[in-house]
Every structure is written in C-alpha cells, then in structure tokens.
Structure 1
Amino acid sequence: MPATPARRYGVVGTGARAQLYISALAGEFADVAELMAWCEPNPARMDHADRLLASVRPSATPPARYSPDDLERMIAERRLAAVVITSPDHTHADLAVRALLAGADVVLEKPLSTSVAGCRAIVAAVEQTGRSLVLTFNYRYAPRNAALKEVLASGEIGDITSVHFEWTLDTAHGADYFRRWHRDKDRSAGLAVHKASHHFDLVNWWLGEAPEWVFASGGLRFYGADNARARGLGERPERGTVDPPSTDPFALDLRTDPVLRSLYWEAERHDGYLRDRDVFGPGITIEDNVSALVGYGSGAVLSYSLNAHSPCEGYRVAVNGTGGRAELAVVERAAVLPGPDGRIVLDASAGSDGAGARLTVQRHWERARAVPIPGGAGGHGGADALLLAEVFRGAAADPLGRQAGYRDGLASVAVGLAANMSMRTGTPVRIAELGLPLAR
C-alpha cells in the first residue's frame, strides 16, 4: 500500500514554548508531519526557529514566513492541515478561531483562552467547522498521574469525597512568571489560569467530572515592588541583563544562556519585549499565592493551593474516598541554593536534583501499599514524549482518556476564570454563571 502522505503543519508563535514542537516535527515525526511555515511577528525568533530546525534536520528546507495578520493566507498558500499555536495566552482565542475558520485543525498550548468571551468564540468555531482542536495537557501523560488515575478508576478507595492538591513553584521557575509577559494579568489571566489550568484539568480528569462552583483567595505576597519595599530591598534595576552583571539570585541575564540570548536578547530590538524584568519591580498584576475550593456535582470538593516562591518544586495530592485514601507526592526539583557567583543553582547534594514520585494507597483497616510508577524518559516525567506521539501519530488505545479536547480545556480554564472572579468579589462563583457549555 502507498505510504500515507505527511500532514502539513505551521507553527504559530516561535518563542520558548514552540521549541518542543519544532524539534518533534523535524525529528521523530518527520515521516508523518511536514513543517511548512512559521507565523510570528518577530524575525529574530523565526531566525532562531530556522536554526533549531536545521540542527535537528540539516536537510530541511526553511519554512515560509508569515505574520499573524496573514494567518489565513498562510493556511491557504501552504495547504496546511493543522497549525500548532504556542503564542502568548491572550492571543489563543483569536488565532485558534481564525485557523479553524480557515480550514485547519488546531493543536493548542494551554490554556484554551484567557477570557470567557474567548472560550465561547472557540467553542462556536469548533462547532461551526467540525474541525479538531486538541489541548496539549501533557501532565495527563505523566506515568505518575496516570497511575493515580488507574487507582481512582478501579474503585479501590470507593467514592471520592475530597481532594487536597498543593503545588509549589520554586524561586527559579516560579520567579520566571514575574519576569515575563505572564506578570500582566490582562495577557495571562494570572497563574490561576495560566499555570493552574494544568492542575484543574488533572483533577477534572481524575474525577471524571466537570466542576460546578469555585471560592478562591489570592494575592501578590512575595514578588512585586510593594513587597520589595516592605522587606527593605532598596533600589533595583528594571531588568536582569545589566553591566556589571548582577549577583542577585533573582536576576536573569539573557546573555548567559544561548537560547535565551537568541530568542529574546537579540530579538528585543524588533518589538521591545523585555524577557528579564525585575521580579520585585512595579507593574506586576498577577498573584503569587492562590487558594481555591472547587465543588463537583458528586459532592466531592477540591482544596487547592499554589505557591510561586517555594525553595523546592513539586506537588502533593491526597484523595479521600469512602473506602480509603490515595496519596501522590512528587518532587520535580529539590531545594536550590545560590552558587559561587550568587546565581541560583540546583543543590548538588540532593542527587539527580532530588526528583522523584511516590504513590501510596491505604484502604480502611488495611496496611498502606506502595503503587509502582512506571518510568518515563524526557520532559514532565515522561509525559511530553507520549503526548507528542498522540498529537502527531494519532491516539492509540487510550483507556484512561488522556487526549484532551476543547471541552476539557474549557472545563479547566473555567475554574481559573471563576477563581479570578471570586478573588475580585470575595464571593463564591457558580461556573454556570460564566455561560460556558461544560456538559460532556
């Protein structure tokens, strides 16, 4: 039989998020996917994408270049079957809707959108066109999270009554959200949407339910100018790339990392975007601490917390049921310490950066047992490789229902949007009030 022709793809947004997909399209999946075009407003970032493509596949022809204003023309001229959208969050709805209406399927980085209006527009475009929109919720594919899903689905701990979920971001990763465009809530909708949409999706998936109400609280309690003044940090430079180089552990010098230098330091002359803003500077409008209660139709309640200034990074999930309890503890990165020059480095004494995961189950009146977690190589605990295979080769047998569609993205972002509303008003929010069609 003749080989199936490769699907033709374009990548919309060629910043840091796109690197995973470019490498995948040019490498492991080049037999089923053909990378035809970049859609990006900054020429220096397209230059970087060309270099990355050539490093993975030296024989590849550089993709054609388009601006976001020419998205529809790109899809038509290059006869694209699909586009991968990895642009900033506030652009997702506009770009996804336009791509769908222009006749392309969409692979979309989370979150679905940063607004209720954007979510509604995407739903309308999917239903009008009948085209596919896949959300790349890679955490569903992590073996540790799949192992917990299997425990819950087996009924071993009975009907679920409550979930406690704590996520900590360390002062290397967490601080980064306060340097970049994410610090502006109008562009990211805050960590309750940008970051926590991963976490809310996991809980929705683990429970197999859509959320019904949210009551949330949060604030900017560590980063930002007011907190810097309260702790007497004194005058600070606007950005981390300064001369002489800063020894501040929170300073990010774009010149010291070849990828950051290429993507941002050498690109800022084209658009003025500063990737290395001071985390204790003015203009930060997002929260660094978020807590939320989320209710489900079954009566189960999630208690959730996110902290973006922890000395270590990872998460803990405890699920209580009528028959027992399951606990998942994950260390993604151990404590970090300042290096000899004052910059943050991993604590070498932790060994393999302290990462690891443990899943235990204890039924009533029984001994706790450890649940084996399969190993996984690559990013996000082995999740990225599995996700990419499903995105570009198609879903294999999937008894856990890991591939996420637009309604899964809708359910996760609805929790974050409701949490933002609750933080503004100080009152609980029923998700039905948002007018989003969450029914499955």
Structure 2
Amino acid sequence: MTDLRLGALGFGLRGSLARTAHRPGHGSRVTVVADPDPARRDDATARIPGVHTVDDHRKVIDAPDVDAVLLLTPDHTHADLACAALRAGKPVFVEKPLDITVECCDRILRTARETGTRLYVGHNMRHMPVVRMMRDIIARGEIGTVKTVWVRHFVGYGGDWYFKDWHAERRYTTGLLLQKGAHDIDVLHWLAGGYTRRVQAFGDLMVYGDNPHRRAPGEPKADDWYTEDGRWPPHTQRALNPVIDVEDVSLANMCLDNGVLAAYQQCHFTPDYWRNYTVIGDAGRLENFGDGPGAVVKVWNSRRSLHREQADAAHVVPEVADDAGHGGADALIIDEFLRFVRRGGRTDTSPVAARMAVAAGCGATESLRAGGVVRDIPDLDPELVAYFERGQA
C-alpha cells in the first residue's frame, strides 16, 4: 500500500498527532509541516525524520506532494484553513473543536458538501477505551434506556495549559466551556443518543483572574510553562497570559432533543485531572472512576437503600500496547482518518456531532455571560445533516 502523503498545519501541542500519523512504509507519512513559529518548525524537523517545513499554510494546501491535510492550528483559524483545504480538493482532519462559532462550523460543513471533499473532525475521545466501554454497556441495555447524564471535568493542570496562552482569551476560543468542553459535550451526546436543544449555564473567573503575575504583551510563553509537578496551589502560578477573560469554572444544564436531561461541570483549579461520567437509565446507572487504562466503570442495577461501593458489575479499562496519547485514542483516530481518506464511508466521529457540540458550548457560554438565560440551539440545515449521515456520499 502506497503511503498517503500528509501535510500538517500547525505544530503546537497537537503536533503529537502529526508525529503519530508519520508511519513511513506503513500507510502514511508527513511530508510537510507549516507553522509561522521558527522554533516549532525546528521542533517538527527534529521529531519527524525527513519532513519539510514552511511558514505559510498555502505551501501545504497547494503542495503537489500532499494528499490530505492535518489541521492542528488554534481554534479560531479552523474555518478559513479548513475551507481552503476543502476547496483545493484535499481531505482534511480538523482538530476539535470544529471552530469557535456556529456560523463558522456551518461554513465548513457547507464547503465540504459543495466541494465533495472529505471532512473529518478530531473528536478522539470517541475512541478512548473508557468511553467505548461506557457506550457498549449502554448498548447492551445494562442500565436500560438513558434518561440523564451528569459529567464532571476536573482540570488539574488548567493554570498551566489554559491560562498561559491563547486559550485564555475569548476572541480565540469563545470560552473554555466550548474549547475544553467540546470533548465532553460530544461524548455526552454520543452516550445519550441525542443533541442539545436548550441550554442554561452559570460560570465565573474565580481564581486566575486575580493572579497579577502576567507576561508582558508580546513576551513569549516561558520555556517551563508546564512541569509534571506544576505550581500548586493555583495562586502560585507565574507568567500567565497578559489577557485572561474566559471563565475558570462553569456549570451547564442541557435539554436534549430525545428528552434526556444532562449536566456538565468544568473546573480549572482542582488538584486532580480526570473526567467523571454518571449515566442513569430507567434500569440502572453507570459511573467511571478514572478515565485511563486501569480505570473502572461500575454498574448498579439492583436497588439498595444505602450507598454501596461494591457495584453489581465492574469493568476494568484495559491497558493498551501502544499509547500514543489519550489511552490509545490518538492512534485510533488517525487510523480512522486514513481509512476515511482512502475509502470514505461512515466514521465513529461525525462532523454533524462536532457542530452540535460547538453549538451547545456556544449557547452555554452565551447563557452564563447573560446571567443564566436559557438559550435555544440553532438547527443545522437538514440537507447537510443528511449528506454527512450518508458518509459524505
């Protein structure tokens, strides 16, 4: 099988996906990386043997030796770059979230349909073993029909990863309820079997907004911006982004189109870092404890009057032989993208679902900034829905 030749736009934190996709002789190789930052271009050269680096995305999109594009740039750039790649006839992998506004997401979907070029969205959590396990439990009927879903996201490294660069500014993200929450909202929708139609939320900038230790405008992010042990507690963080105008804690309530009620909570100043899902059906409930290999998904489906730590069933999330990131999900999502580029067809990720996750995140952010006013989620053109549900055929 001839290697697919991939071009990568951006080589920041998600440059790891380009490294994962570089498999010379095994189906794919990254031939060129574009990034305006010389240091990141040097990093790409060091990490991807034989790669060519450029400073302009057009040199990737228009390159004759590029069969498909990995779009790994900051969120607010996605629509323009994705549409350019689609119009050039290059299948494109867009890292989540699809973009930071509903309008931009819809523009990407319309362009994909008009050009007939394949669009894939990097919601890798659909390939995480813990998520697959929960979905399988639900599909087997172990908790009956899903009626409500509660998600808590403890972001232990929030100060390091989200308040020291562009993530801290709403002009680049809309807000972390969208940027960080798009993953969880998509999984919530997938487990519940529906999309958010109405949303109401509250949130605040409780901790990082009061920290005076900011970089000067134009000053680069410090080399030691993140370490495994980190700075703790959060008020000891230094060299934060000059502008911080996104919330560091948020709570959202959602009504889905199939009647399911859901809640999502996100906090960036907790000491631990993991996601906790509770899914309750009309015949039981499940809950995960940990979200990586070795985590346990417990199921209770017999009634007792007191709390029971011992569940009726406990499923251990397996170890993975080759964990390139997110419990092996990064390698699996690249596998699916490459298969989709070659042969098309349905995928476990969904451009429609990606748009609906953004729409729910945007609606929730609008609600919390308006004092909790309920927001209705705008519909997506039914013709676009049908096109993508057919597998873009």
Query: TM-score if structure 1 supplies the norm length?
Result: 0.75
Shift of 1:151: 0.8
Q: Distance in 1 between matches of 2:225 and 2:188?
A: 38
Contact 1:37 1:78 in 2 (8 A): no
Long gaps (5+) in structure 2? 228-236, 305-310
Say if 2:353 is the partner of 1:408. yes
- Tell whether 2:194 aligns with 1:209: yes
Q: Any conservation in 1 of the 2:8–2:60 contact (CA below 8 Å)? A: no
Residue among 21, 28, 32 paired with 1:25: 21
Give the letter for the 1:389 counterpart: D
Cα offset, 1:48, TM superposition? 1.6
Question: How far is the alpha carbon of 1:301 from its aligned partner?
Answer: 0.7
Which of the pair has more CA radius of gyration?
1
> 5 Å matches for 1:141-290?
141-170=127-156, 172-224=157-209, 227-228=210-211, 236=213, 238=215, 253-254=222-223, 278-279=239-240, 283-290=243-250
**Aligned equivalents of 2:206 and 2:214: distance in 1?**
20
Paired AA for residue 256 in structure 2: Y
Give the direction of change, closer, same or farther, for the CA distance of 1:236–1:405 in structure 2 (3 Å limit).
closer
Match of 1:104 in 2: 90
Count of residue correspondences: 362
Please tell me whether the aligned partners of residues 336 and 347 of structure 2 are also in contact (alpha carbons under 8 angstroms).
Answer: no
Over the residues paired in the alignment, what is the CA RMSD in angstroms? 2.8
Q: Give the whole-Å Cα distance in 2 for the aligned partners of 1:297 and 1:430.
A: 11
Contact preservation (8 Å) 2:214, 2:242: no
**In structure 2, do the counterparts of structure 1 residues 165 and 64 end up closer, same or farther at CA, with 3 Å as the change threshold?**
closer
Q: Which whole-Å CA distance do the structure 1 matches of 2:380 and 2:204 have between them?
A: 23
Q: Is there any run of 5+ residues in structure 1 with no aligned partner, and where? A: 55-59, 229-234, 243-251, 259-275, 333-354
C-alpha change, 1:257 and 1:413, in structure 2 (3 Å) is closer
2-side partners of 1:176 and 1:46: how far apart? 21
Change (3 A) 1:64 1:278: closer
Determine if contact 1:140/1:402 at 8 Å carries over to the other structure: no
Shift of 1:44: 2.8
1:312-362 Cα distance to aligned partner (Å, 9 max, x none): 111211111111111112166xxxxxxxxxxxxxxxxxxxxxx85221111
Conserved 8 A contact 1:134-1:405? yes
Counterpart AA for 1:308: H
- CA distance, structure 2, for counterparts of residue 38 and residue 300 of structure 1: 43
Tell me how far 1:164 sits from its aligned partner.
0.9
- The offset of 1:290, in angstroms, is 1.0
SS in 2 for 1:217: strand
Aligned to 1:11: 8
Secondary structure in structure 2 of the residue aligned to 1:380: coil
Cα-to-partner distance string for 1:147-188 (whole Å, 9 max, x where unaligned): 100011112211111111101011x34442001110111101
CA distance in 1, matches of 2:269, 2:67: 42
**Residue 386 (str. 1) matches residue 386 (str. 2):** no
Aligned to 2:362: 417
Q: Is the 8 A contact 1:211 1:415 kept in 2?
A: yes
- The 1:174/1:317 distance shift into structure 2, 3 A limit, reads farther
Letter in 2 for 1:37: V
- 2:285 partner SS: strand
Q: CA deviation at 1:207?
A: 1.8
Partner of 2:231: none
What is the CA–CA distance in structure 2 between the aligned matches of 1:111 and 1:256, rounded to whole Å? 23
Question: Which residue of the partner structure matches residue 308 of structure 2?
Answer: none
| Cα distance in structure 2, aligned partners of 1:31 and 1:373 | 28
Change (3 A) 1:174 1:435: farther
Whole-angstrom CA distance in 2 between matches of 1:434 and 1:135 = 17
Contact 2:164 2:225 in 1 (8 A): no
Q: Give the superposition deviation at 1:237.
A: 5.6
Matches within 5 A, 1:420-439: 420-425=365-370, 426-432=372-378
For residue 232 of structure 2, what is the aligned residue in structure 1? none
Cα distance in 2 for residues equivalent to 1:205 and 1:406? 13
Are 1:302 and 2:279 matched, yes or no?
no
Question: Residue in 2 aligned with 1:329?
Answer: 289
Report the counterpart of residue 299 of structure 2 in structure 1. 361
Partner in structure 1 of residue 234 of structure 2: none
8 A Cα contact 1:178 1:277, kept in partner: no
User: Aligned partners of 1:126, 1:133: CA distance in 2, in Å?
Assistant: 6
2:37 to 39, 42, 65: 42
Per-residue displacement from partner, 1:111-148 (whole Å, max 9, x unpaired)?
00111221121011011011111111111111111110
In the superposition, the TM-score normalised over structure 2's length comes to 0.84
Q: Deviations over 1:65-121 (max 9, x none)?
A: 2413xx2x5433324221000001100011001110111000111000111221121
